[in-house]
Structure 1
Amino acid sequence: MYESLGGSLNNIRYAYFIKLISIKYVIFVLLLILSARIQADNYAPEPYWQGTLGPLNIRSMSPGQALRLAPLPRSPYGLPEGKTELQFNMAAASVFLQSPGIYLVDFNFIDTRIAVNHGFKGGWSTELSFSDRRIQNLYLDEFVEAFHDVFGIDQNGRDINQNETRIIIPGYSANFSNDLDGVFSQTIGLSVQKVLIDKSVEWPALAVILNTSIETLSDGMIEKGAFDYSLQLSLAEKKLSGYYFANVSYTRFGSDKTLGVIPLSEKQFSGMLGYEFSVTENEAFIVQYLFSEGVLQNLGALGRVSHEIHLGYKWRTDKNTYEAGLVENIVNFDNGPDVAFAFGVTHRL
């Protein structure tokens, strides 16, 4: 009887916790939108902005894909000649993946990216970026567990050893814990984009992008000096209610293992489909679907395609474009984040 009573009290606590979080989240979103409406002046966007606010700047947050170069969703419109932008993006994710006897992957991590983008003559633009990824306890486990309890989703062991880092893969004698906390990747990237078709003609806008990245961390999960590169196509077209986007990328990696023993694929195919629902000329809700080939070999679901949904909101002021987003995994629930939150700002110089 006491056990039953204790279980009921726990369920009540979890339900109350989720309710409290939900109320705070709704209030936060409402304040965010109100702030956006105040800041987003009702001016017609200059030609510089190309009209669209562009896709959410969120790359794959799946555990294998987040180890190396993960192409960023991109707009094909590029930057006008002589224009420069500064970008800052940060995402925080909770990952828990378990297949008994095969793997246990349990950690929180932060993905931070800063970049400078400059437009040149003839539809060319370049971007220099720095990325920092680190494992850090973000205390997201209770939130995910409570969410699962309220909706009757199996915890699959995530309610044990909460807020701890664990990567256990018996087949490769890998057993890591909190010693992995801290920075696991720092890369410098260079991207070059060429607009092939702009929106001034009766065809979808089209651009091709070459992305490159080199690992600079000497004691990370990927060997120092590993060089990755990808070829990416970006497509967009204006519709009555907004814009649709599509990206497709083929990536080659300069590393074939992580943590010294776990094999990784040396190539990957990935893509993105998205739609920007315009609220005003300077505000939009955005939904994106991102898929990426699995890169962790011989590890069941971790070697299969990752599917992620991005939901977000972007708003533009005279000099800045802000964005806030949420990431959830779908289809293959054993290769993706439980949840991730993202924020970014692009500043026009």
Structure 2
Amino acid sequence: MTKNRNGQRRSLDDADINFIRNLPKGEGYYIDGEFSMLTFNYNRGIGNHSEIGITANYNSYGGRLLDGFIYNFHDAIGTGQQGRNHAANNQVQVVLARDNGNDIVLAERPSNGGFGDPSIYLRTAFPLPYFDWKGKLSIGVKPPLMSERKFLSSGSWDGGFQLTLNKQKLLNTFTINTGYIYTGSFKQTHFNPPSLPYLNLGWLHRYKKNPNTRSQIQLLLAEHPYRDLVDSDLSELQFLLTLGMKWKLNSGTLGMAVSENILNFDNTSDVIVHLSWEHFN
């Protein structure tokens, strides 16, 4: 496909889509798009050790805010563009070929975006008397409430649990986070993603000379949800490295971070930029 574009940047046309759909099993895929998410999270304590919370995400499809950053980043580290420079800017297109004929084809952005399904969870803390660690267990569900047509809901219930262990020592906090996500089917596209475990390792460092400034390193290990459809670098095990900073201010905490897959630069997501604001009462 790169060859027949003559060095031009353009969207997929019908001929391109048919070409992808007719590729051998595991090779028929194309994913291009920028996805932005604004997350609102509210927690309320219950007693001394538990809390309930709700998370709502505002999703946006399209845009090209990060395109230049992604191109420059991959040039700087020497991996090349791998065809990124031939994909259209400000476009959302997805093609996934499947054996059963129910191919997933998204020729244009499904909508401008909107609020997705909310998540509701219960979290409780517990001590570990024989170790110098503290634990938290979270259980949550995501009911299908929003529009499937606008790709704001899968149309099915999702659920999962998360176990978090953390240890604080002087200026450092170490975190082990693992969980399992039970995903429902995407009814509109007849896609049943696998339920996947994950492991997240974190290190938060507070600077002695400036205690309101903290640096953060996280490593996420997880299998890719397209592993049964795509036999390529796209679906390999993800090693997502996140580097970030946090600044504690009078009214809250400001955070900034960047994520990249450190072993496979063809894997989605190419680059993830995080901005966060935390306010406590």
In structure 1, stretches of 5+ residues that fail to align are: 1-98
Distance 1:170 1:234 in 2: 37
Q: How many residues align structurally?
A: 248
Question: 183, 200, 204: which is aligned to 1:272?
Answer: 200
Give SS of 1:159's match: helix
In structure 1, the residue matched to 2:125 is 195
User: 1:71-91 CA distances to partner (integer Å, 9 max, x unpaired)?
Assistant: xxxxxxxxxxxxxxxxxxxxx
In structure 2, the residue matched to 1:169 is 96
Deviation of 1:155 after TM superposition, in Å, equals 1.6
Distance 1:153 1:302 in 2: 15
Deviation of 1:226 after TM superposition, in Å, equals 1.6
Distance 1:278 1:314 in 2: 9
User: 1:164-202 CA distances to partner (integer Å, 9 max, x unpaired)?
Assistant: 32212244543323233522770111111111118x996
Percent identity over paired residues: 20
CA contact (8 A) 1:133 1:183 kept: yes
Amino acid at match of 2:270: D
Distance 2:272 2:261 in 1: 9
Does structure 1 residue 236 correspond to structure 2 residue 166? yes
CA contact (8 A) 2:79 2:265 kept: no
Deviation of 1:302 after TM superposition, in Å, equals 4.2
In structure 1, the residue matched to 2:243 is 311
CA contact (8 A) 2:156 2:187 kept: no
In structure 2, stretches of 5+ residues that fail to align are: 1-24
Deviation of 1:244 after TM superposition, in Å, equals 0.6
Distance 1:292 1:303 in 2: 10
User: 1:27-66 CA distances to partner (integer Å, 9 max, x unpaired)?
Assistant: xxxxxxxxxxxxxxxxxxxxxxxxxxxxxxxxxxxxxxxx
Distance 2:198 2:81 in 1: 29
In structure 1, the residue matched to 2:31 is 105
Deviation of 1:223 after TM superposition, in Å, equals 5.3
Greater shift in the superposed pair: 121-130 or 160-169: 160-169
In structure 1, the residue matched to 2:230 is 299
Deviation of 1:210 after TM superposition, in Å, equals 0.8
Cα RMSD (Å):
2.6
Task: Summarize the alignment of residues 116-131 of structure 1 with structure 2, pairs less than 5 Å apart.
Answer: 116-131=42-57
Amino acid at match of 1:137: G
In structure 1, the residue matched to 2:183 is 253
TM-score, structure 1 length as denominator?
Answer: 0.64
In structure 1, the residue matched to 2:110 is 180
In structure 2, the residue matched to 1:114 is 40
Give SS of 2:109's match: helix
* 4+ aligned runs moved over 4 Å, structure 1: 222-225
Question: 136, 139, 156: which is aligned to 1:207?
Answer: 136
CA contact (8 A) 1:108 1:135 kept: yes
Greater shift in the superposed pair: 244-253 or 130-139: 130-139
Distance 2:92 2:134 in 1: 44
TM-score, structure 2 length as denominator?
Answer: 0.78
Deviation of 1:245 after TM superposition, in Å, equals 0.7
CA contact (8 A) 1:136 1:181 kept: no
CA contact (8 A) 1:214 1:227 kept: yes
